[in-house]
Structure 1
Amino acid sequence: MDLIPAPRHVTPHPAAEPFVLTAGATLDAGPGTGGTARWLRGVLGAAFGTELAPGADGAAVRLRIDAELGAEAYRLEVTAQAVTLTGGDAAGVFWGAQTLRQLCGPAAFRRAALGGPAPSIAAVLVEDRPRFRWRGFMLDVARHFLPKDVVLRYVDLMAAHKLNVLHLHLTDDQGWRVEIKRYPRLTQTGAWRERTKVGLRESPLWDERPHGGFYTGDDIREIVAYAAARHITVVPEIDVPGHSQAAIAAYPELGNADVVDTAALGVLTSWGVNVNVLAPTEGVLRFYEDVLTEVLDLFPSKVIHLGGDECPKEQWMKSDAAQDRIRELGLRDEEALQSWFIGHFGRWLADRGRQLAGWDEILQGGSLVPGALVASWRGYGGGIKAAEAGHDVVMCPEQQVYLDHRQHAGPDEPVPIGFVRTLEDVHRFEPVPPRLAGTPAQERVIGAQANIWTEVLDSVRAVDYAVFPRLSAFAEVVWSDLPAPERRDHEDFTARMSTHYQRLDALGVEYRPPGGPHPWQRRPGVAGRPIAGPPPIV
């Protein structure tokens, strides 16, 4: 069947006649399936010139919901007479429609009919449901801004792979990407930098062009609505208290002005962990409460990500105001001060019916706010600790699923950074570490997420190259009921990828070819920071 991600159960009927999607085929959409019906009419109509007009009696394609199947599950039966797709809910119907699109062949992923014969779909029964409820992809639009149409394109690429959480990294030292009406300088000033380091910090190269951009409130509403129609939740990340120089450049009072001339700080033009962090003052708390009030209005997601990672404490150690705050609160040290800072917003979000999420550093410095979600990026350790303490966990260890890390050890990889993570490595990623497997804490691992950071990815083409085809392998890990990593049939996956590459070609994705980068995908002369040896398991 060449399906990716692989379904749980596929029963082909090789002796039966296939179903032919003729130009006059009709579609009968049962209650609750209207969104998928519109989507099917759009994609199949464009690809094959098939109208799929509404019809009931004798309809060629039937969409139904049966709650007994369970959330996001579906059952797809193809006979010579009809296609019957039943989902456990509206999302299940939509994921089943993604499988139906794959069964129609790679041409189903094009936007105009090529004039060939009507698609013929083999008679088959597919019964499927996801392994995890959080199947995430993080897109860093702060380091290099990606226009709205690119984000919408990635929503469609996620949907094609049955991924259901888009984590948008919206703010960092190098740029603030979401309009906040109460504080217009966040985008007037914070969304733009004068120039950009090419490569990592050690590189002597610069792009002297100004860089920037941001999403208006209406842009965000459009992205959120577009994703919701595809059963994808958009989770915003507003990074605090570190990774905040763009905000400080716009509003210098947010920084530690008693130890650094914050008025002289601009939006950061280079990369790496940055010492300029937010001041732990009441004024800063009120500022970010105002920011988050607007963020909550834009993003209906229950989960709101506040970063919490890579916050150096040097300025707090030197700041009289920060030291006064530590004494006033009776805190142990600067680590506890960061825990207090994150905890404040965790409680603030909880009071408004939302859930704090943060990188695994939010575990440091004291007790974590009840109900917080931990994204474990520095290995498995933080996720294990959080799960055993009763917190929900999303596994995204950099050693396994940071897709900006190089895909091969060869010299032709563009701007090679991090560990070598091949397509097979990602396919063998296991979100549940052995220590949690079979324990009650295993249920706290609600899923996993692949992350793409864009410091060295300065174009859509570069992002495509880094993300694909490894995101296809990741999608199979989080959707399919795969055996243990060492027993996974990677040869079978590779064989199915031969067809999937044709789908990616039809979608216009500039993935890394199996044999290595095309000449135009290389970046000669731009050094990276490759890490030798296999990644540690921590």
Structure 2
Amino acid sequence: MLLPRPRAVTAGVGEFLLDSATAIVAIPELAATARWLQSALGPATGLALPLSVASGAPRRSNSVVLILRPELGAEAYDLDADDRGVTITAGDTAGAFYGCQALLQLLPPTIYRRSRVTGERWACPAVHIEDAPRFRWRGAMLDVARHFMPKHDLLRFVDLLATHRLNTLHLHLSDDQGWRLEIRRYPQLTRVGSWRRESQVGAASLSPGDGRPHGGFYTQDDIREIVAYAAERHITVVPEIDVPGHSQAAIAAYPELGVHGIPVEVWTRWGINHNVLNTEDSTVDFYRNVLDEVMDLFPGQFIGIGGDECPRDQWHADRRTQQLMRERGLKDETELQAWFVSALAEHVCARGRRPFGWDDLLEGDIPAGTAVASWRGMTGAVTAARRGFDVVSCPDDHVYLDYRQSDLEAEPIPVSIQLTLEDAYVFEPVPDGLRPEEAARILGGQANVWTEHMDSPRTVDYYTFPRLCATAEALWTLGDRDIDEFRSRLATHLTRLDNLGVEYRHDDGPHPWQTRPGVPGKPAGREEWAAFIDGLVSHIRS
């Protein structure tokens, strides 16, 4: 019935039918949630659903009532429906919102249409639901650096996260291929760094460019709107500015940031780029200033600083960098990278926030309070938790949604290992072998949507759904999982996605317009991919 699956569902007898006399009643603390529910129910039903805000929120007949009971806990809700109405009792405002999302799923899937649907009975079955999430971090990372997602489509993506009771949007805002955030102190970052002259087409090393400029960025007013829109849906936006690798767009804008200080273009290729930031104090100050503007825009606790896949060969060969290492008492380039990242992490901490970065950070010392995203399997999660750091689990072999979905030749630009719906569904954020106090360090998890090969929002749909549906359940639901039972609920849920206009991947493979004939990928088996990751780590370290 519902997705993600609630903790407990007890079917009742009968149904509640929404009609022209149905109202919404809420206590003052939940007035905003009630207005959101009114806006969600109104278009398809055509019903006015007048809203009444009153202390105590009496249980009125033929009403949807929203009330609070804090002892239920954060993000928790109970939903009771019978022939007299629906009551959503929540532990907090987020729980009330998730209860409203559950109500939408109890109605016919056409409730997600944006204009009036005729001939439909807007009936909710009698039911008692008790629900609360397993993890506090339930997210998706969206890479808007490789391919920019316009604001309108990003807001739609936020709505889709909310539909699945996900509460974190990690935005990858900078990379070699583009800088996507207006920084007013450094206008060249978007004037130059936000666009590239073309994009690589395909995953092979000799793949051609398309000859088509690509770009875009979010103004600071855009970001304020996105952050506020997400907050209304109880989603925190976590920004990421990736350093000291993945930085060629910034170097193109300000060449003095590079090791060699020479002009380069915004990178047009995919993969690991050897142009990295220099480690001058002036470069650290530059990024401190950038992060100040970032922190002014994003009020959440965590601020992403990246730290992944940074080749060190330029540092090793550069006389000035070697001089800086000696002056700072650093014995090798690994310590140099840790010094650079820690300088920025400490600046984030000084502003009362928490740094957030990839598990590559664990190769050096990082400040207390840093949260680590474990992406190279779950080894990083174990290491970080044992060292006392909080963890967001996002192992590539379960939740990297850019990976190919089957062995079919028709899969568009097939990359890496096969990652199926089942692989996403069995994702377990807490690795084996941790002591209870270490396991408590696992904040939750997220799916990562890297967009090298996703050049439009509809392509993001294809790669993301329905695998993100499975990830959402893995992060929300407590208890045993049954893939067959999940598939039964998913069949109904896909009709909701149809009504939402999501161009998801169907179980029998891509539709003809979802394929990319003649564009090569880079598929691999799991053993081959594991060896590739190990080799990549060794190469970067060396």
Instruction: Please report the TM-score for the alignment, with normalisation by the length of structure 2.
Output: 0.95
Question: Given the alignment of the two structures, is residue 64 of structure 1 paired with residue 67 of structure 2, yes or no?
Answer: yes
2:440 maps to: 443
**Whole-angstrom CA distance in 1 between matches of 2:508 and 2:408:** 11
Identity over aligned pairs, percent: 53
1:24 maps to: 21
**How much is the aligned-residue C-alpha RMSD, in angstroms?**
1.3
1:465 maps to: 462
1:476 maps to: 473
1:68 to partner: Cα distance: 0.2
**Whole-angstrom CA distance in 1 between matches of 2:489 and 2:397:** 26
> After superposition, where does 1:116-127 map in structure 2 within 5 Å?
116-127=119-130
**Whole-angstrom CA distance in 1 between matches of 2:284 and 2:316:** 19
2:539 maps to: none
2:277 maps to: 278
> After superposition, where does 1:60-99 map in structure 2 within 5 Å?
60-99=63-102
Specify the SS of the correspondent of 1:296: helix
**Whole-angstrom CA distance in 2 between matches of 1:135 and 1:253:** 39
1:368 to partner: Cα distance: 1.9
Q: What letter matches 1:389 in structure 2?
A: R
1:140 maps to: 143
1:117 to partner: Cα distance: 3.3
1:216 maps to: 219
Specify the SS of the correspondent of 2:35: helix
**Whole-angstrom CA distance in 2 between matches of 1:262 and 1:383:** 38
1:54 to partner: Cα distance: 2.0
Specify the SS of the correspondent of 1:12: strand
Is the 8 Å Cα contact of residues 193 and 252 (structure 2) preserved in structure 1?
Answer: yes
Q: What letter matches 2:392 in structure 1?
A: V
Q: What letter matches 1:80 in structure 2?
A: D
Q: What letter matches 1:317 in structure 2?
A: H
**Whole-angstrom CA distance in 1 between matches of 2:114 and 2:83:** 26
1:481 to partner: Cα distance: 0.6
Is the 8 Å Cα contact of residues 138 and 450 (structure 1) preserved in structure 2?
Answer: yes
List per-residue Cα deviations over 1:117-170 (Å, max 9, x = no partner): 341111000000000000010000000011001110000000000000000000
Specify the SS of the correspondent of 1:139: strand
**Whole-angstrom CA distance in 2 between matches of 1:240 and 1:28:** 49
1:10 maps to: 9
1:357 maps to: 356
Decide which of 513, 526, 530 is 2:506's aligned counterpart: 513
1:344 to partner: Cα distance: 0.8
Deviates more, 1:150-159 or 1:199-208: 199-208
Q: What letter matches 1:91 in structure 2?
A: A
> After superposition, where does 1:390-469 map in structure 2 within 5 Å?
390-436=388-434, 439-469=436-466
**Whole-angstrom CA distance in 2 between matches of 1:354 and 1:456:** 33
List per-residue Cα deviations over 1:10-37 (Å, max 9, x = no partner): 0111xx2200011221111113112211
1:187 maps to: 190
Specify the SS of the correspondent of 1:64: strand
**Whole-angstrom CA distance in 1 between matches of 2:401 and 2:479:** 21
Q: Return 5+ residue gaps in structure 2 as ranges.
A: 535-542
1:342 maps to: 341
Specify the SS of the correspondent of 2:240: strand
List per-residue Cα deviations over 1:426-483 (Å, max 9, x = no partner): 10111111112x5320000110010010001111111110000000000000000132
> After superposition, where does 1:99-114 map in structure 2 within 5 Å?
99-114=102-117
**Whole-angstrom CA distance in 2 between matches of 1:518 and 1:343:** 47
Pair 329,320 (structure 1): closer, same or farther in 2 beyond 3 Å:
same
**Whole-angstrom CA distance in 2 between matches of 1:333 and 1:62:** 62
Is the 8 Å Cα contact of residues 275 and 314 (structure 1) preserved in structure 2?
Answer: yes
Is the 8 Å Cα contact of residues 431 and 448 (structure 1) preserved in structure 2?
Answer: yes
1:300 maps to: 299
1:203 to partner: Cα distance: 4.2
1:530 maps to: 523
> After superposition, where does 1:307-386 map in structure 2 within 5 Å?
307-365=306-364, 367-386=365-384
Is the 8 Å Cα contact of residues 140 and 169 (structure 2) preserved in structure 1?
Answer: yes
Is the 8 Å Cα contact of residues 201 and 271 (structure 1) preserved in structure 2?
Answer: no
Specify the SS of the correspondent of 2:29: coil
Specify the SS of the correspondent of 1:431: coil
1:536 to partner: Cα distance: 5.1
Specify the SS of the correspondent of 1:77: strand
Deviates more, 1:438-447 or 1:211-220: 438-447
Specify the SS of the correspondent of 2:88: strand
1:201 to partner: Cα distance: 4.5
Is the 8 Å Cα contact of residues 203 and 526 (structure 1) preserved in structure 2?
Answer: no
Is the 8 Å Cα contact of residues 196 and 270 (structure 1) preserved in structure 2?
Answer: yes
Is the 8 Å Cα contact of residues 400 and 425 (structure 1) preserved in structure 2?
Answer: yes
**Whole-angstrom CA distance in 2 between matches of 1:372 and 1:310:** 18
2:540 maps to: none
**Whole-angstrom CA distance in 1 between matches of 2:530 and 2:442:** 21
> After superposition, where does 1:212-251 map in structure 2 within 5 Å?
212-251=215-254
Q: What letter matches 2:23 in structure 1?
A: T
Is the 8 Å Cα contact of residues 135 and 476 (structure 2) preserved in structure 1?
Answer: yes
Specify the SS of the correspondent of 1:267: coil
Specify the SS of the correspondent of 1:383: helix
2:262 maps to: 262
1:301 to partner: Cα distance: 1.1
Is the 8 Å Cα contact of residues 48 and 118 (structure 1) preserved in structure 2?
Answer: no
Instruction: Please report the TM-score for the alignment, with normalisation by the length of structure 1.
Output: 0.96
**Whole-angstrom CA distance in 2 between matches of 1:172 and 1:451:** 15
**Whole-angstrom CA distance in 2 between matches of 1:512 and 1:401:** 16
Is the 8 Å Cα contact of residues 31 and 65 (structure 1) preserved in structure 2?
Answer: no
**Whole-angstrom CA distance in 2 between matches of 1:368 and 1:182:** 27
Q: What letter matches 1:500 in structure 2?
A: H
Decide which of 53, 70, 73 is 2:50's aligned counterpart: 53
Q: What letter matches 1:99 in structure 2?
A: A
1:252 to partner: Cα distance: 0.4
**Whole-angstrom CA distance in 2 between matches of 1:524 and 1:533:** 24
**Whole-angstrom CA distance in 2 between matches of 1:419 and 1:324:** 42
**Whole-angstrom CA distance in 2 between matches of 1:448 and 1:237:** 16
Question: Given the alignment of the two structures, is residue 500 of structure 1 paired with residue 481 of structure 2, yes or no?
Answer: no
1:491 maps to: 484
Q: What letter matches 1:440 in structure 2?
A: E
1:254 to partner: Cα distance: 0.5
Specify the SS of the correspondent of 1:122: strand
Is the 8 Å Cα contact of residues 201 and 270 (structure 1) preserved in structure 2?
Answer: no
1:410 to partner: Cα distance: 1.3
Q: What letter matches 1:140 in structure 2?
A: D
